[in-house]
Amino acid sequence: MFTIGEFSRLARVSCRLLRHYDELGLFKPARVEAATGYRYYSAAQLPRLNRILVLRELGLSLEQIAEALREDLPAASLRGMLLLRRGEIARSIESESQRLRQVEGRIAQIEVEGRLNADDVVLRSEPARVFLSTRRTVASFAEGARLLGALAERAPQRLAGRPVGPLAAVAHAAEFELEDIDVEFGLMVESALDGPVRLGEEFVLHTRALPAVERLAACVRVGPPQEAHLTTARIARFIEAGGYRICGATREVFLQRPSAARMHEAVVEMQFPIASI
C-alpha cells in the first residue's frame, strides 16, 4: 500500500487529482484510515487509473469516463462514445483550421497595409430568409434611396399578425452600376404570406426565398449612403487579404428602419457572400 504522495509519483499525477477523483467517486483509494482520513492506494489500482487517464486523453469528460468504466457497459456503447468523440474532434479541427486561415488573413492585411483596417468586417453565416420584395431597375442611386424611404414609410409593423423584420435590398447585377440599377428590395418576414401584398400605389410585394449563405463578409455602415463606398472598401480589403472571392448577390440590411428624411442616420449592414478561392 502506498500513501497518496507515493502513489502520485508512481502514477505521475498530482495528489489533487487523486483527491478530486476520490471525491467524484471515479477512483477511490483501496483503503481510507478512519482515524486520520489518510488515503492508501495499492499497486493493483494502477491499471484502472491508467484506463481513466487514457480516456481523458481522448477528450472524454470525467462523467463520460465514469460511464465508460461501468462494468456492465457493452463494448458497442463505448464504441458509440468514441465515434461521437471522433466527430467532435473532426469538427473542432475543421473550425480551428478556418480560424487559422482568418488569423493569417489578418496578419497578411497588417503586412500589406501597415495596420488592421478592416477589423470591423465580420465573417458569419446567414440562414435562409423569407423576403417580401419587389424587383426593379432604378435609374439612379437617388431614385433608389427615395424608393426605400417611401417603402419604409408605408411598411406596417405587423403583417398577417406576425411582426415584420428589417428592410433590405439585394443588388442582382454582376457588376457595380451607377445607373439603371437592377435591385430587389422589400421586407424580411418570418414566414411566407398568401398572395402579394400591396403597399400604397407604388409597391406590390411578392414572397421570395432568400437562400442561406454559408459565409458572409459583413460590415455595418453608420451614416449617409454617400459613405457606403468606405464600407465596401473595407470589405473588399478583407476579402482580398483573406483569399476569398465574392460568390453571390450583395445585400444591404437596414438594422434601423430608415425614413426618407433621416437617411444620413442609417444603420445598414452590407453583406457579401464569399467563398475561398
Nearest alpha carbon to residue 159 among 202, 128, 192: 192
In the list DNA, a second copy, none, the entry touching 132 (Cβ below 5 to 8 angstroms by class) is none
* DSSP codes joined into one string, 203-239: EEEEEEEEPPEEEEEEEEEES-GGGHHHHHHHHHHHH
Q: Which is nearer to DNA, 20 or 206 (CB)?
A: 20
Asked if 185 and 206 count as a contact pair (C-beta separation under 8 A), the reply is: no
- Window contacting a second copy (CB under 8 A); options: 111-119, 143-151, 188-196, 240-248: 111-119
Residues 208-267 that bind a second copy (CB under 8 A): 219-220, 222, 255-256, 265, 267
When CB distances are held under 5 to 8 angstroms depending on the partner's kind, the choice from DNA, a second copy, none that residue 14 binds is DNA
* 120 interacts with a second copy by CB under 8 A: yes
Question: Cα–Cα distance between 143 and 159 in angstroms, integer?
Answer: 26
Quick one: which of 262, 122, 258 has its CA closest to 185?
A: 258
| Residue 264 in grid coordinates | 444620413
Q: Per CB under 8 A, which region of 49-57, 143-151, 169-177, 197-205 contacts a second copy?
A: 49-57
Q: What is the CA radius of gyration of the chain?
A: 30
**CA atoms of 183 and 197, how far apart (whole Å):** 19
Report the partner that residue 179 touches, choosing among DNA, a second copy, none (CB closer than 5 to 8 A by kind): none
Q: Of residues 16, 31, 70, 99, which one binds a second copy by CB under 8 A?
A: 99
3-class SS of residue 84: helix
Residue whose CB is less far from DNA, 14 or 276: 14
104 contact choice in a second copy, DNA, none (CB below 5 to 8 Å, kind-dependent): a second copy
Closest CA to 250 of 171, 182, 185: 171
CB-CB neighbours of 268 under 10 Å: 25
Angle ∠(193,153,198) on CA atoms, nearest 5: 35
C-alpha cell at 186: 422589400
Question: Quick one: what does residue 1 bind among a second copy, DNA, none, with the CB cut-off 5 to 8 Å set by partner type?
Answer: none
The single residue among 97, 137, 140, 226 that binds a second copy, judged by CB under 8 A, is 97
The interface partner of residue 28, options being DNA, a second copy, none and the CB cut-off 5 to 8 Å by kind, is: none
Task: Return the one option of a second copy, DNA, none that residue 78 interacts with (CB less than 5 to 8 A, by type).
Answer: a second copy
Q: Which of 54, 203, 62 is nearest to 132 (CA)?
A: 203
Residue that is written with C-alpha cell 472524454 in the block? 60
**Region from 106-114, 132-140, 183-191, 239-247 binding a second copy, contact rule CB under 8 A:** 106-114
Phi and psi at residue 174, in whole multiples of 5°? -75, -20
- Candidates 1, 24, 32, 100; binder of a second copy (CB under 8 A) is 100
Of the candidates 79, 183, 75, 192, which has an alpha carbon nearest to the alpha carbon of residue 132? 192
Rule CB under 7 A: which residues touch DNA? 3-6, 14-17, 19-21, 36-39, 56, 61-63
Return the number of the residue (19 or 51) whose C-beta is nearest a second copy.
51
> Which stretches of the chain bind a second copy, using CB under 8 A?
10, 43-44, 46-48, 50-51, 53-55, 57-59, 75, 78-79, 82-83, 85-86, 89-90, 92-93, 96-97, 99-100, 102-104, 106-107, 110-111, 114-116, 119-123, 219-220, 222, 255-256, 265, 267
